[in-house]
Structure 1
Amino acid sequence: MNSLHPGEPQKNDPELPALPRRRIVLRPAQEQANLDATPAQTSDSLSAPPASRVRPARARDLDADFASRDATDLYLAELSGSQPLTRDGEVELGRRIEAGERAALDAWVYSPVALRVFGEMAEDVQVGSVTIQDLLLNPDADDPASQAIPVRLAQLLQLARSLSKVSGPIVPSALSDLAAGLCEVRLDPSVGERIDNALREAVEAGGAEASGARATLSALRRARAQTARAKAELVQANLRLVMATARHYQRRGVPLLDLVQEGNLGLMRAADKFDYRRGYRFSTYAGWWIKQAIERALLYQGRIVKMPVHLADSRRKVLRSRKALSQENAREPSPEEIAEHSGLPLAKVKAVRDLSMEPISLDAPIDEEGDARYGDFLASDGATPDEALTMRRMMEQTRDLLDGLTPREREVLRLRYGLDGEADHTLEEIGRSFSLSRERIRQIESKALEKLRSRSRDRHLASYLES
């Protein structure tokens, strides 16, 4: 066996004692740096040259493998320190979020500018330019308590409209009731954006309302910071739920960290819409948002050809029915059986089956050697250069022959035989365009063909027929 450095004697040289075997230990980079800096590194050390000069191939491969998993490992290490919330903990954070939202609403209702914007929204709803559902955070909730919210919001907007027209001092209890009612219905973020824009415009315009609008914006920043902190804690405590959900969707064409990122977006969306007063756990509510975000990401990122959401739902039904029937009958089910089991039309089952096939690149190699590719075995629909040249010459000589006919004879043949890109026409169709009978068009056609046969230049076309 050769030594580590060129020019050194062999290990089994009889003039030198045998060197003791050295054990190789892989250490973290920081620990290795500390060891390298110690005085123990003396001249009797027979270690390999520094890593900056020689990098064994095996070590480089290990580093590349570690680097690919490094981000995932770091993220998992961070998640290991987070603890899930209890029901009481979720309720406490929900109350803190509600308190921050209530503080923002208090700042709004005590601002004449915000009251005026609420009054404008009431007018917009009245004329139909916007709907009540456009102003709500959860307009699609189907429980009995939520169905009364649109009516309640319409009443609150009318109250705000009336208060905005009061010239004197407003009773504080009326403003407090308005803020409490708006907190119950939970407004869409677009409402806040509209009010904030009006407040900024009032500050920029100056005048009597500028100082009040500036104070309102300052109060809004403090209230929203309080809400953001509570939502961040709620999201942070449920990041492990996102990771657990994302693991079920691995190996579907999207990397795990990308799935986690999409799931985190769904988790944040759930934190925005969570209402602790409904009685359900946030983890249960967020699970649906996380799954929806991940499945949507798979639709748009996991396939080369994007699939619409409604087709993806049908595809899942078909796959579930196919799996159930295969397990039940121990054979591949037919499309008719899948359609009956899934309740989908047979045509849709066949269409979804075709969509389930993954596309293959024409440049992909057929075998491991890579000498042949799929595109090499596909016939071209276009003509070869020789065929295109022959066709062009034949068309030129055909036009020369047609020039010897009358304009009407030439037009009849052009329509009858689809020359110059025209489609073939029947005698009746040509007769209608010329206002002539079918028999008369047939006579014109026969006469024109007879002229072409009698011309001496038809020998030029005979060569094409022979070939």
Structure 2
Amino acid sequence: MDRFVRTLMAAPALSAAQEQLLARQARDGDLEAREALITSGMRSVALRARMLGLQGEDLRDAVQSGAVGLIRAVDRFDPDRGVRLSTYAWRWIGAEMMRTPHRELPLDDIEPLADGPVAGSCGPLLAPLTAVEAQVVVLRFGLGSQGSSPMSRRAAADHLGLTISQVRTIEGKAMRQLRRGLAKVGDRAPHQ
């Protein structure tokens, strides 16, 4: 794992009381309190990036994008609603990470797959997809090794650390891309 990300994940978490106090101070304009919330929240950003299965430069890019989402969450966070900042920020962090395109990874680098590698005949079909898109398709349609069963959107979302809405969006985008690719193959096929 990247040393920078490892450092972020090792940072101590704030207690609920500390977090509430800092959030109230930040809401009142205290820039140091805001900075402390952002610094402590970077642990969630690193965790979310790792859950996407990214490595190297893509991992660092995702952390950078997630930091933007974290800052937005800190600026909108209401400590009086009874929710921890990490819970509130999770959606904001993920949304920014998904908005930023990452380099496509070969299918061998996708992790974690449902039950192992993608079935041999499906690998070339999924090759044009990004790693996250391929993960969603593999999980949703049970394309892993023998015995893999399709997952619901909720189960796939839980497995990948995404929201159900994000899984639905990613799945839709991947399916449109796959349909376009298959249409091109169909256009090239000899007509009878």
| TM-score grouping bracket, smaller chain normalisation | 0.5 to 0.7
Match of 1:235 among 38, 45, 58: 38
Relative contact order higher in (CA < 8 Å, ≥ 6 apart): 2
Mark the structure with the bigger radius of gyration: 1
Corresponding residue number in structure 2 for 1:73: 3
Q: Distance in 2 between matches of 1:85 and 1:92?
A: 10
Look up the SS of the partner of 1:84 in the other structure.
coil
Q: CA deviation at 1:317?
A: 5.8
Q: Is residue 83 of structure 1 aligned with residue 2 of structure 2?
A: no
Q: Show CA shifts across 1:6-64 (max 9, x none).
A: xxxxxxxxxxxxxxxxxxxxxxxxxxxxxxxxxxxxxxxxxxxxxxxxxxxxxxxxxxx
Identity %: 28
Q: Show CA shifts across 1:201-249 (max 9, x none).
A: xxxxxxxxxxxxxxxxxxxxxxxxx2x2211100111212211211122
Q: Distance in 2 between matches of 1:76 and 1:315?
A: 26
Q: Is residue 302 of structure 1 aligned with residue 103 of structure 2?
A: yes
Letter in 2 for 1:267: L
Alignment of 1:210-229 (within 5 A): 226=30, 228-229=31-32
Distance of aligned partners of 1:261 and 1:353 in 2 relative to their CA distance in 1, 3 Å threshold: same
Match of 1:353 among 139, 158, 178: 178
Q: Is residue 96 of structure 1 aligned with residue 28 of structure 2?
A: no
Q: Distance in 2 between matches of 1:315 and 1:75?
A: 24
Backbone CA RMSD of aligned residues = 3.9
Corresponding residue number in structure 1 for 2:113: none
Distance of aligned partners of 1:351 and 1:95 in 2 relative to their CA distance in 1, 3 Å threshold: closer
Q: CA deviation at 1:354?
A: 4.7
Distance of aligned partners of 1:355 and 1:315 in 2 relative to their CA distance in 1, 3 Å threshold: farther
Q: Distance in 2 between matches of 1:349 and 1:77?
A: 34
Q: CA deviation at 1:97?
A: 1.9
Extract unaligned runs of 5+ from structure 2.
106-131, 151-167, 183-192
Distance of aligned partners of 1:332 and 1:230 in 2 relative to their CA distance in 1, 3 Å threshold: closer
Tell me the TM-score normalized by structure 2: 0.55
Alignment of 1:32-431 (within 5 A): 72-73=2-3, 76-77=6-7, 80=10, 82-100=11-29, 226=30, 228-251=31-54, 255-297=58-100, 300-303=101-104, 318-323=137-142, 330=147, 351-354=176-179
Letter in 2 for 1:73: R
Distance of aligned partners of 1:253 and 1:85 in 2 relative to their CA distance in 1, 3 Å threshold: closer
Does structure 1 retain, via aligned residues, the 8 Å contact 2:48–2:94?
A: yes
Q: CA deviation at 1:91?
A: 0.9
Q: Distance in 1 between matches of 2:174 and 2:60?
A: 33
* Number of residue pairs the alignment of both structures matches: 135
Q: CA deviation at 1:262?
A: 1.1
Look up the SS of the partner of 2:28 in the other structure.
helix
Q: Distance in 2 between matches of 1:94 and 1:86?
A: 12
Q: CA deviation at 1:320?
A: 3.1
Distance of aligned partners of 1:74 and 1:280 in 2 relative to their CA distance in 1, 3 Å threshold: closer
Distance of aligned partners of 1:355 and 1:271 in 2 relative to their CA distance in 1, 3 Å threshold: farther
Letter in 2 for 1:238: G
Q: Distance in 2 between matches of 1:89 and 1:259?
A: 27
Does structure 2 retain, via aligned residues, the 8 Å contact 1:242–1:260?
A: yes
Q: CA deviation at 1:99?
A: 2.4
Q: Distance in 1 between matches of 2:92 and 2:181?
A: 25
Tell me the TM-score normalized by structure 1: 0.25
Q: CA deviation at 1:302?
A: 2.5
Distance of aligned partners of 1:352 and 1:318 in 2 relative to their CA distance in 1, 3 Å threshold: farther
Q: CA deviation at 1:319?
A: 3.8
Q: Distance in 1 between matches of 2:78 and 2:179?
A: 43
